[in-house]
Amino acid sequence: MIRTAWAGPAAFVLAMLAAPPAALAQSPAERGGYLVNTIMTCNNCHTPMGPGGPQFDKALSGGITFDEPPFRVQGSNITQDKETGIGAWTDAQIKQTLRTGKRPNGVQLAEVMPTSFYGIVTPRDMDAIVAYLRTVKPVANKTADPVYKIALPHHSFPGAEKPFTDADLNDKVKKGFYLVTIGHCMECHTPFGSAGQDYAGKLGAGGREFPGPWGKSVSRNITSSKTKGLGEWTDAQIKHAITHGESKDGSKLKPPMGYPYYAKMAEADLDAIVAYLRTVPAKD
């Protein structure tokens, strides 16, 4: 599933970098805003795109369309508009949708919405995400009704079947796994096998193709392999690639990675992500 990250003028990137550091976030809404606007990259799919990039004056009011063989869906309006957004949803309904991929009316979401990864979200962070969404200004924007051509299943990413605890996040590697999971990184960086994405055999091995305005990009191998993956990269090089879209040899990396969003992440979170990636078994 493609997460379209805009690769527009440098002014946009600078604006993203100028945002307050996550380390200053204290309230639940601030914590939720940090997650939504960085590692979870919710704006990638839920904010409309204009000729100059994401239209943040209409943030989260409905985004890009995914026209796939099994379905045709559009990023939903998740602002507080009561008619076209989620303003009339209860907190419990928002949480249920994030954890199960099922709308309050019982309709299952297509898995371009990565709810299969959100079962891991801690109760505190789930409360924070909802608290932040309640602060998003209402924007009236009716998005297209989904078209489903097959029955849609709901899967759970291995390790994300149940919520982590706050204590889990005190462990650096577990925290890194948590962030990589809610960022659904392995969704793009794991190839498909005969029965779907091969998380058991080729987790993080890369190789998926993503066509777009940038041409065609291929997801990188982010395992600990020293020949094909990140095994010979320094921590600084990995973090620079994540936040600036630049490989260790200086070459530019292509979208759909949301580099401008990741550039706002706290240094401790980036350190945790690197610590976890060092544990991903090497796949050549």
Last residue of a domain, one of 107, 135, 157: 157
d(CA 263, CA 242): 8
pTM of the model: 0.90
- What's the domain count of the chain? 2
Answer whether residue 191 shows pLDDT above 90.
yes
> Does residue 150 sit in the same domain as residue 234?
no
Does some domain include residue 8? no
Residue 237 lies in domain: 164-284
Q: What is the pLDDT of residue 196?
A: 82
- Give the 3-state secondary structure of residue 53: strand
Nearest by Cα to 239 from 204, 216, 269: 269
> Does residue 184 sit in the same domain as residue 123?
no
Reported as a single tens digit per residue, the pLDDT across 140-175 is: 999 999 999 998 889 999 999 999 999 999 999 999
Structure tokens at 257: 């990675």
d(CA 245, CA 240): 7
- Report the chain's terminal Cα–Cα distance, integer Å: 23
Complete DSSP assignment for 185-254: HHHHHS-EETTEE-HHHHTT----EEEETTEEEEPPP-SS-TTTSSTTS-HHHHHHHHHH-B-TTSPBPP
- Give the 3-state secondary structure of residue 177: helix
Does some domain include residue 191? yes
List Cα–Cα distances, 243 to 19, 27, 91, 111, 282, in angstroms.
14, 25, 32, 26, 23
> Does residue 169 sit in the same domain as residue 123?
no
> Does residue 22 sit in the same domain as residue 151?
yes
Does some domain include residue 5? no
Last residue of a domain, one of 157, 184, 215: 157
> Does residue 60 sit in the same domain as residue 136?
yes
> Does residue 124 sit in the same domain as residue 252?
no
> Does residue 173 sit in the same domain as residue 202?
yes
Between 201 and 23, residue with greater pLDDT? 201
Between 6 and 240, residue with greater pLDDT? 240
Last residue of a domain, one of 124, 140, 157: 157
Reported as a single tens digit per residue, the pLDDT across 230-278 is: 999 999 999 999 999 999 999 999 988 999 999 999 999 999 999 999 9
> Does residue 145 sit in the same domain as residue 220?
no
Query: What are residue 192's DSSP bridge partners?
Result: 197
> Does residue 20 sit in the same domain as residue 116?
yes
> Does residue 230 sit in the same domain as residue 198?
yes
Q: What is the pLDDT of residue 3?
A: 43
d(CA 219, CA 28): 33
Tell me 76's DSSP state: -
Does some domain include residue 6? no
**At 194, is the pLDDT very low, low, confident or very high (cuts 50, 70, 90)?**
confident
Does some domain include residue 7? no
Does some domain include residue 199? yes
The CATH number of the domain holding residue 257 is: 1.10.760
List Cα–Cα distances, 129 to 33, 112, 121, 284, in angstroms.
7, 19, 10, 37
> Does residue 105 sit in the same domain as residue 218?
no
Answer whether residue 195 shows pLDDT above 90.
no
d(CA 248, CA 234): 9
Answer whether residue 24 shows pLDDT above 70.
no
> Does residue 69 sit in the same domain as residue 182?
no
